[in-house]
């Protein structure tokens, strides 16, 4: 797990090593163990390393193979790299390191750009050819690892984080109106290739992008899940699906044990993280370290779920760590958590993951985490009504979107309004072939878009802020492909995630499975009161906020006057959503 960056020139100039050094320096938290740069003529690349696989200096990056004339900077973990290495060795390739980075170089040389089809794991990379000057960028199927890029005068820059690109300068930092509409509709999700800034784009999940010496090429999609039944799937009994799911999750958890350092687990006490811990125990993990976080309650809303995480920890005899965050620590940490965000993310639990990661990183470098199960196995409340929906676009938008276009018109500056971009995006996505019913259309959108730029990005940003690698077995692409084939009725039954719950009964206690659905609670950012309200008020009333003028003053005053009346359909604070964007921009000096 690392941070990568690069400067590619199209104008014949020498690549800017100062820009690469600035970006590399900005990503020290992503890779605190080592650093490196490489340059030749129009190309320069930088890397920050977190040592997880092959701890030796032979696996240092940027990695260059002089015999093949290929170099790479790479962020991620390829779980099937030992098998790929053995296959490449039968083709005559010789290896000087023991890690997965060198396998990517040889795999590209052996199989060309389609080598990404063979990878099981999470990755973002820039791979270059010395002699042609061509560069290939790539991002994993579920977007677990980020990759941002910016067209600058005379060239292109890339980095694992958006703020790293800003550190090098020369980026257009005006607000992207389409991205603003997405942000305020999809609770801060901005689908690729957009970001909130006009001058920065991100590579979409499951895509590669070729960069020629003379300019940027076209992105190519190498993976998209098909929510269609294969022959025999329609008549396959439920019991068989249940066993296939359990086998699939078990394999995914086992794959993510691949490391030369200990692997721990984040344990919220919910079904998903509890199942991971149970399967890790079944794999024979000894001395497994697990971690939970909790916050102060606000009114009737409880701030922790320790009773459930304690149950699982005791059941499996893990070395469990409860991390309690009182309000005196939470508010000061907000600025640090927002500073760690590549893009503004309004989910209340971002600061929770940030503080949890700080503590966990003192013990281990790698953890498994349960993100993605709700999107992959239909665990959210908006899926069951879509089973028989006659207008799935409208039904989805009504329960999912933070506000409609009419409310948007009363919130943002008229010059930034434009069309109803969010609803048009949902309609276009639902109309694509490969998913027939409303549930599958929503699952495809959530798995490939909403999941990527909300929980997945949140976990990456907050864990990597402390040099902690998070692995997400529910986003194993083979498991996602299996789940996409399962008839929707087996996923949405009994409130959702039915097939996963029934599979889990064979592993973990029923008390965790049959409990009411919980969330990672940070009540203080949902019910904004007292010092939190004053903090938000200050942000929105600063001169830079007034000068920027993103939001209509009367709308901001309404939110400040009664913040608890303005809650999104998914129970988030509309006031925090507005304030966070402004705060993120202020922290970036924009």
Catalytic (active-site) positions: 2
- Distance, CA of 324 to CA of 522 (rounded, Å): 11
Bridge partners (DSSP) of residue 129 are 70
Instruction: For residue 49, list its beta bridge partners.
Output: 2, 34
134 within 8 A of 213, measured Cβ to Cβ: yes
Cβ(375)–Cβ(447) below 8 Å: yes
3-state secondary structure of 383: coil
Cα separation, 434 vs 445, in Å, equals 12
For the CA atoms of the chain, what is the radius of gyration? 23
d(CA 186, CA 429): 14
| Helix, strand, coil percentages for the chain (3-state, nearest 5) | 45, 20, 35
Give the bridge partners for 464, in sequence order.
Answer: none
Under 8 Å between Cβ of 48 and 24:
yes
Long-range contacts made by residues 115-121, C-beta under 8 angstroms, separation at least 24? 116/208, 116/222, 117/222, 117/223, 118/80, 118/84, 119/78, 119/80, 119/84, 120/78, 120/79, 120/80, 120/255, 120/476, 120/477, 120/478, 121/76, 121/77, 121/78, 121/79, 121/80, 121/81
Where does 340-471 have alpha helices with state H? 349-360, 373-376, 392-400, 405-409, 421-430, 438-445, 457-464
| Sign of the C-alpha dihedral computed for residues 13, 15, 16 and 19 taken in this order | positive
Question: Would you give the distance in Å from CA 419 to the centre of its chain?
Answer: 28
Separation CA 328–CA 420 (nearest Å): 41
The answer to whether the beta carbons of residues 288 and 277 sit under 8 Å apart is yes
């Amino acid at each position: 797990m690392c941070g990568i960056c690069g400067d590619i020139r199209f104008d014949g100039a020498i690549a800017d090593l100062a820009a690469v050094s600035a970006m590399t320096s900005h990503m020290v938290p992503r890779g605190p163990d080592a650093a490196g740069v490489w340059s030749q003529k129009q190309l320069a690349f930088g890397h920050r390393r977190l040592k997880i696989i092959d701890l030796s200096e032979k696996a240092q990056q940027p990695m260059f193979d002089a015999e093949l004339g290929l170099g790479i900077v790479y962020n991620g973990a390829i779980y099937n790299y030992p098998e790929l290495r053995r296959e490449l060795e039968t083709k005559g390739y010789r290896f000087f390191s023991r890690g997965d980075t060198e396998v990517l170089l040889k795999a590209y040389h052996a199989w060309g750009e389609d080598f990404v089809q063979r990878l099981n794991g999470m990755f973002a990379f820039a791979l270059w050819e010395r002699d042609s000057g061509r560069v290939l960028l790539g991002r994993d199927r579920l977007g677990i690892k980020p990759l941002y890029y910016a067209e600058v005068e005379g060239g292109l820059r890339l980095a694992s984080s958006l703020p790293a690109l800003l550190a090098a300068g020369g980026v257009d930092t005006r607000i992207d109106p389409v991205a603003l509409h997405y942000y305020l509709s999809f609770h801060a999700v901005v689908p690729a290739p957009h970001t909130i800034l006009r001058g920065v784009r991100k590579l979409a999940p499951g895509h590669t992008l070729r960069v020629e010496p003379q300019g940027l090429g076209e992105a190519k999609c190498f993976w998209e899940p098909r929510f269609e039944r294969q022959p025999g799937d329609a008549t396959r009994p439920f019991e068989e699906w249940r066993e296939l799911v359990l086998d699939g999750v078990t394999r995914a958890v086992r794959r993510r044990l691949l490391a030369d350092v200990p692997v721990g687990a984040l344990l919220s006490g919910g079904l998903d993280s509890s199942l991971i811990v149970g399967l890790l125990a079944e794999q024979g993990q000894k001395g497994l370290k697990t971690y939970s976080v909790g916050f102060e309650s606000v009114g009737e809303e409880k701030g922790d779920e320790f009773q459930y995480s304690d149950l699982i920890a005791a059941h499996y005899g893990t070395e469990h760590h409860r991390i309690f965050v009182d309000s005196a620590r939470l508010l000061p940490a907000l600025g640090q958590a927002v500073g760690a965000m590549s893009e503004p993310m309004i989910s209340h639990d971002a600061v929770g993951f940030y503080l949890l990661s700080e503590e966990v990183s003192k013990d281990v470098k790698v953890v498994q985490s349960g993100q993605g199960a709700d999107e992959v196995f239909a665990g959210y409340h908006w899926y069951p009504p879509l089973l028989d929906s006659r207008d799935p676009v409208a039904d989805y938008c009504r329960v999912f979107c933070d506000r409609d276009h009419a409310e948007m018109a009363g919130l943002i500056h008229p010059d930034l309004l434009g069309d109803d971009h969010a609803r048009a995006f949902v309609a276009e996505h639902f109309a694509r072939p490969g998913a027939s019913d409303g549930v599958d259309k929503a699952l495809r959108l959530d798995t490939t878009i909403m999941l990527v730029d909300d929980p997945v990005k949140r976990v990456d940003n907050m864990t990597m802020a402390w040099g902690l690698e998070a692995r997400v077995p529910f986003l194993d692409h083979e498991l996602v492909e299996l789940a996409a084939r399962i008839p929707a009725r087996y996923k949405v039954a009994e409130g959702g995630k039915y097939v996963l719950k029934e599979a889990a009964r064979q592993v973990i206690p029923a008390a965790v499975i049959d409990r009411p659905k919980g969330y990672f609670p940070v009540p203080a950012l949902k019910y904004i009161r007292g010092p939190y309200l004053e903090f938000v008020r200050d942000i929105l009333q600063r001169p830079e906020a007034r000068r920027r003028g993103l939001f209509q003053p009367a709308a901001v005053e309404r939110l400040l006057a009664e913040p608890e009346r303005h809650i999104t359909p998914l129970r988030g604070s509309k006031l925090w959503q507005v304030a966070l964007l402004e705060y993120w921009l202020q922290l970036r000096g924009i």
